[in-house]
Structure 1
């Protein structure tokens, strides 16, 4: 189903799987700083690099940009990138509505599924004053980066629900592709997401309400 500008509901939801960067946390400023620094080191155009970095693990992005480079070099560079990003929190802020959204999920099944590693996830969520979900699938937990659906499937399994019962919240092309490949409905969050045909789309998390039902399921109410 293509995104629409009219109000929508998504019914029969049992668990939510949440991306972090661009979905709960706006980290675009630091992502651009760090990746432009890396691009300059390798003689790449910064604008072209920024177009492909969102949603993937760092080494997966490097493999796209430098396809002939040995995997070991990408892994080493990704470790440097994670150190840069974890220490640079200037401009990292919550996506509008994220604090209230996460507060509304406190007693409901949900998980964080992010391409960040544990340290970066803690740093960015902490910088935004956002609570870390109890269930977390970070870069260390998977063998393949988004758009592979492994992370979302692991999140659903850890929460104890079938993929069809889960809804993914994502902002990036590869993240939305991963959620759909996992057999899940996907809510696209923010301006980037609208172009990638999620199940539904919201401008930010202020345009969303989660209704918990007596049978333990949820209904999502989305407004344009």
Structure 2
């Protein structure tokens, strides 16, 4: 599977870098402003989910009703908090083995894309100093459907000029694994086999593939 793939499509959070902690702190700060607690357990429901869907879940947890304009303001408030945090990102925060594996794939002539719900993906890649390693970046600014919808991975394979069946997706969230499979890609799960059991293969981190 990995030796024959022509394209590799990577999720961002939890695969290339751990920005999940910054998302959590930003959502937690918003919840505090709205008058309720947002726990790490609550945050598990937001993994691999788009910004507006994450906000819907957060407001559901807090039992808060809000109109569309209010929701957009809240989402922007959360994003400002998050961007402020990730503006301090540097290459030292790349997860173990990620840069090395990306460079290994480039050396083999494998095309590489990012497939992430994040609307800040390009900024994060530039902060990490690895933007040059990607042939295409498909993020939350280019797709409208959140995982487990396969849109992001279908768009990524198309951007690489490949069929989904020629690509392998690397994902750390169950919704992302489902999206990759629905797109027709092979999927490598990064994390727990119990959670990512639908993946074709599960590893602890990209360092295992070096």
TM bucket, shorter chain: 0.7 to 0.9
Q: Report what 2:152 is aligned to.
A: 151
Question: After the TM superposition, which of the residue ranges 28-37 and 93-102 deviates more from structure 2?
Answer: 28-37
Q: Report the CA distance between 1:72 and its aligned residue.
A: 4.1
Q: Report what 1:109 is aligned to.
A: 111
Q: Report what 2:169 is aligned to.
A: 168
SS of 1:122 mapped into structure 2:
helix
Distance 2:10 2:68 in 1: 28
Distance 1:79 1:45, change over 3 A: closer
Q: Report what 2:9 is aligned to.
A: 17
TM-score (norm: length of structure 1)? 0.78
Distance 1:194 1:98, change over 3 A: farther
Q: How does 1:43-54 map to 2 (within 5 A)?
A: 43-54=36-47
Distance 1:50 1:187, change over 3 A: same
Distance 2:149 2:27 in 1: 22
Equivalent in 39, 59, 81 of residue 66 of structure 1: 59
| Higher strand proportion (structure 1 or 2) | 1
Distance 2:72 2:141 in 1: 13
**Residue correspondences, number:** 198
RMSD: 2.2
TM-score (norm: length of structure 2)? 0.83
The C-alpha deviation readout for 1:138-194, integer Å capped at 9, x for no partner, is: 111112111211010011111122212211001112211211121211111134x65
Greater relative contact order structure (CA < 8 Å, 6+ sep): 1
